[in-house]
Amino acid sequence: MKVYNEVLDDYVEIKTPIERIVSLDPATTETIFLLALGDKVIATDAFSYRPEEARKKPKIGSYTHVNLDFLRDNKPDIIFTTMGAQKFLTKKLIDEGFTVYPVPVPTSVSKILDNVLLVSLVLGVHDKGRELYSILLSEINKYRRNVDKRVKVYIEFDLGGPITAGFPSHVSDAVYIVGGINIFDDNPNAYFTPSDDEVIRRNPDVVIYEPKRLTDYEKERFLLKLKERGLEALSKKVVFTKGDFLAHQGPSFITEGLSFLYSVLTKIHYRQ
């Protein structure tokens, strides 16, 4: 079976039936399990822990490296990767002779849905893909809100330093869906390091901070960092996520992330 891949701009030859899957992309791993194909997954990357069953699979790599000996010994029928940080790893695996299908990085919430259909197509479970797509689409519509005045939102991720999202990201799109506007929605970069002066100038109504993992220490550390950066005025506007939550690009971003954003912005709407 040949399936077109827009990232490679070429067709990927896939042997069927697929019995041995490796997923090096957390979003794709989650999708595979939701398509009821988790039993065919023989290994994942270290960050694939959604759903809970995925934690039990062997962890053979990260975004930039993988255990090639494992792949050579176990001969997967297909390896799913993504782009961005995995661009060079994807090329390396293809050069090694593995069947690799890189999944596009979502630039909007709807692209998460598209990737569900794409993975289901590659794995030959079209009906399950359509069903999951419909469930997720219903979730999106549940939280869609049209408002006269949008809440101004600043989202910051801890990725070794402050990183925020621009227009071509699922996060910025989600904020708009639930009735807000990302203060950097006019920025053409998906993710970038923001200017603190510009954050102040754009005066967000709420600051959503996502650490790697939320702890009391992490809360105190972030608030102290705001003070050091001259952003102390924003301290009372901060809402924390549980960590590795909004950055996730799989189906649970829609079932859980949208709900979280909707809840946060609803409280701000009532104050205005």
Instruction: Assess contact for 44 and 70: CB atoms under 8 A.
Output: no
Distance CA 163, CA 253 (A): 19
Instruction: Assess contact for 211 and 146: CB atoms under 8 A.
Output: no
- pLDDT of 272 > 90? The answer is no
**Which tens digits make up the pLDDT trace of 226-257?**
999 999 999 999 999 999 899 999 999 999 99
State the average pLDDT over residues 18-43. 98
User: Which pLDDT does position 159 carry in this prediction?
Assistant: 87
The string of DSSP codes covering 216-232 is HHHHHHHHHHHHHTT-G
- pLDDT of 10 > 80? The answer is yes
Tokens of 159: 């990725």
**Residue 224 CB contacts under 8 Å (≥ 6 apart), including other chains:** none
**Which tens digits make up the pLDDT trace of 91-136?**
999 999 999 999 999 999 999 999 999 999 999 999 999 999 999 9
CA torsion through residues 84, 173, 267, 231, sign: positive
pLDDT averaged over the chain? 96
3-class state of residue 154 by DSSP: strand
